[in-house]
Amino acid sequence: MIMTSLKGTRAMCSEIILRQEVLKDGFHRDLLIKVKFGESIEDLQTCRLLIKQDIPAGLFVDPYELASLRERNITEAVMVSENFDIEAPNYLSKESEVLIYARQDSQCVDCFQAFLPVHYRYHRPHSHDGETSIVVNHPDLLMFCDQAGSRGMIRFRVPNFEMLGSLKSGGSLCFGE
């Protein structure tokens, strides 16, 4: 599969493995996002990976916590959504959006990873088994590379997954924009 970048240069669509893991239990969890690229992108050292993650109404990201993590150089993430109420329960809240710069993994030359603290919102009481499943939509992966004087942007799409599980997906998952 061939895709075009913004500047008209061509890049081969590589195999991408996206793994999103939910760490910790309870209302306060961490979303760890790992992305591994195949060999088609030659020099990932010149690339930056931006993850655009939609946060469903059943979860929230605390913008004050993100600011604190940025100050301590733990994560590079920012809320895009405005007029956001972190105290609202699930049934009164809206989806939100977070932009996260993934960092290159020191253990893997073709890998990037990002960390995002997420929190469950309160839900209406129900008589079922007491568990609620929240579907986290696929992130958009936006890669900007500056290779040998030519710059280009590539956008990748991946499928959805449920918050209580994890996702490991491979194959050709990209398309041109």
**pLDDT per position as a tens digit, 28-63:** 999 999 998 876 666 788 888 999 999 999 999 999
Residue 64 amino acid letter:
Y
Q: Are 165 and 87 in contact (CB under 8 A)?
A: no
Q: How many CA atoms lie within 13 A of 119 on its CB side?
A: 13
Prediction pTM value: 0.75
Within 8 A by CB and 6+ apart from 61, the residues are: 55, 77, 79, 96, 98, 116, 117, 118, 119
Within 10 angstroms of residue 94's Cβ, the number of other Cβ atoms is 13
- Tell me: the pLDDT tens digits for 134-153? 888 778 888 887 766 666 66
What is the residue whose two structure tokens read 């890998």? 111
